[in-house]
Amino acid sequence: MTTFSDTEFFLIETVIKIAIVMFVLLTAIAYLTWLERKVIAHIQSRWGPYLVGPHGLLQPLADGLKFMFKEDIAPLEVDSVVYWLAPFLAFLMAFLSIAVIPFGTSFTLAGHVIQLQITDLNVGLLFVFAVTSLGVYSVALAGWSSNSKYPLLGGLRSSAQMISYEISLSLGVIGVLMIAGTLSLRGIVDQQAGLWAHSGLFSLLPRWNFFLQPLGFLIYFTAAIAETNRIPFDLPEGETELVAGFHTEYSSFKFAIFFMSEYANMVTVSAIATLLFFGGWLGPSFGPYWLQVILPVFWFCLKLFCFLFFYIWVRGTLPRFRYDQLMAFGWKFLLPLGLLNILATSFIVAWVHS
> Within 57-76, which residues bind another protein (CB under 8 A)?
67-76
Footprint (CB under 8 A) of another protein, residues 168-207: 170-171, 174-175, 177-178, 181-183
59, 105, 138, 146: which one binds another protein (CB under 8 A): 146
254 binds another protein (CB under 8 A): yes
The C-alpha angle with vertex 128 and arms to 127 and 134, in degrees rounded to 5, equals 90
Sole window of 33-41, 45-53, 151-159, 231-239 interacting with another protein (rule: CB under 8 A): 151-159
Footprint (CB under 8 A) of another protein, residues 263-322: none
Q: How far is the CB of 27 from another protein (least distance, A)?
A: 14
Q: How far is the CB of 325 from another protein (least distance, A)?
A: 9
Q: For residue 127, what are the contacts with CB-CB under 8 A and spacing of at least 6? A: 97, 99, 100, 121
Q: What is the DSSP letter of 148?
A: S
d(CA 315, CA 334): 21
Q: Report how far Cα 134 is from the mean position of its chain's Cα atoms.
A: 14
81, 195, 205, 343: which one binds another protein (CB under 8 A): 343
d(CA 155, CA 86): 11
99 binds another protein (CB under 8 A): yes
Q: How far is the CB of 282 from another protein (least distance, A)?
A: 21
Cβ closer to another protein: 84 or 196? 84
Q: What is the DSSP letter of 164?
A: H
| Count of residues that interact with another protein, criterion CB under 8 A | 84
137, 252, 297, 320: which one binds another protein (CB under 8 A): 252
d(CA 53, CA 65): 15
Cβ closer to another protein: 10 or 47? 10
Cβ closer to another protein: 186 or 303? 186
d(CA 241, CA 154): 10
45, 54, 200, 324: which one binds another protein (CB under 8 A): 324
Q: What is the DSSP letter of 54?
A: G
164 binds another protein (CB under 8 A): yes
Collapse the DSSP code of 299 into the 3-class scheme (helix H, G, I; strand E, B; otherwise coil) and give the result: helix
Collapse the DSSP code of 320 into the 3-class scheme (helix H, G, I; strand E, B; otherwise coil) and give the result: coil
Cβ closer to another protein: 32 or 98? 98
2, 45, 240, 354: which one binds another protein (CB under 8 A): 354
Cβ closer to another protein: 14 or 199? 14
- In single-letter form, the type of residue at position 14 comes to T
Footprint (CB under 8 A) of another protein, residues 22-61: 22
34, 103, 150, 281: which one binds another protein (CB under 8 A): 150
Q: Report how far Cα 18 is from the mean position of its chain's Cα atoms.
A: 17
Burial of 285 (0-12, 13-18, 19+ CB in 10 A): middle
d(CA 98, CA 275): 13
Footprint (CB under 8 A) of another protein, residues 105-134: 118-122, 126-127
96 binds another protein (CB under 8 A): yes
Cβ closer to another protein: 92 or 218? 92
Cβ closer to another protein: 249 or 303? 249
Q: What is the DSSP string of 236-262?
A: GG-HHHHTTGGGTT--HHHHHHHHHHH
Q: What's the half-sphere exposure (Cβ side, CA atoms, 13 Å) at 5?
A: 2
Q: How far is the CB of 97 from another protein (least distance, A)?
A: 10
State how far the alpha carbon of 249 is from the alpha carbons of 83, 112, 331, in Å. Answer: 10, 50, 31
